[in-house]
Amino acid sequence: MKLTLGFSPCPNDTFIFDALIHHKINTEGLDFEVVFDDVETLNQKAFKAELDITKLSYHAYAYAVKNYVLLNAGSALGFGVGPMLVCKTAQDLSNPNLRVGIPGKYTTANFLLSLAYPHFQNKVAMVFSDIEEKLLNGEIDLGLIIHENRFTYQNKGLQKVKDLGEYWEEETKCAIPLGGIVIKRSLPNDIKEKVNRLIKKSVEFAFANPKSALAFIKSHAQEMEEAVMYKHIDLYVNQYSVDLGVEGKKAIQILFAEAEKKRIIPSISEDLFL
């Protein structure tokens, strides 16, 4: 059986899925047709239910929950891993008209920005990798950066305004849920369980053989130094990627409860978890 699988070309995702898609583990009769896209494009594909299995932002999951259910394996949650609001020159943060570059309307990053700075209305959605350049060019006043840009923004002369991951942790004492792996609810339950089991095995294989995926990771992160790639992986791939567990699920439930309360997302009646 062949299933379509969407994930980003970022090191954390290529690290997680390398063993699965390259049959370094027994895939129990399943094959995967891979679609690489940035997370906001994957969010949009999820809204249209285009893929059988996909990575998406937890914020976006609220809008795709009718068609997809969250797997316990493959998620990105953690402490000290949240998006960062940065600037080129100091800004008056009380100004609602500041131009803020965001990595997509439905990203968890934008959700956190809405919690911390609800008065920011002039948001400009763009591919996450373009935000730093547009900030340096003066096209935006503030930039909301994610992924490897957390490690490079200072080298480009940019300054931290707010670590929104720290903001979330202070507010909730929970890990920040960034992205998860969902599968179509319409697929048979045994297939859903099998995919979850295989992704878990793929993550475990990656942890046991951290250099096995190096060529694959490098091929999708060509401009990134190896040390930065593994720094990125260390931040975003952890015990929650193997299994959400009680604490991971609690963090997700709090995220959704806060979002519903503030009317950032619609009310949800479906079960969130597989």
Residue ranges at the known binding site for substrate: 55-57, 108-109
The active-site residue out of 22, 119, 147, 232 is 147
CA–CA distance from 3 to each of 32, 78, 142, 177, 180 (Å)? 5, 28, 39, 25, 17
Integer-rounded Cα Rg, in Å, for the chain is 18
At 77 the three-state DSSP class reads strand
CA–CA distance from 172 to each of 37, 80, 115, 221 (Å)? 31, 13, 12, 33
Q: Is the dihedral of CA 66, 71, 76, 78 positive or negative?
A: positive
Give the H or E element holding residue 34: strand 31-36
Measure CA of the first residue to CA of the last residue in the chain; give whole Å.
20
For tokens 């940035």, the residue is: 38
CA distance 110 to 91: 19
Contacts of residue 19, Cβ cutoff 8 Å, sequence gap at least 6: 25, 201, 202, 205, 206, 209, 212, 213
Backbone angles phi, psi at 26, to 5 degrees: -70, 115
The binding site comprises: 55-57, 108-109
DSSP-derived pairing of the beta strands 159-163 and 84-87: antiparallel
232 in active site: no
| Cβ neighbours of 153 (radius 10 Å) | 20
Residues designated catalytic: 147
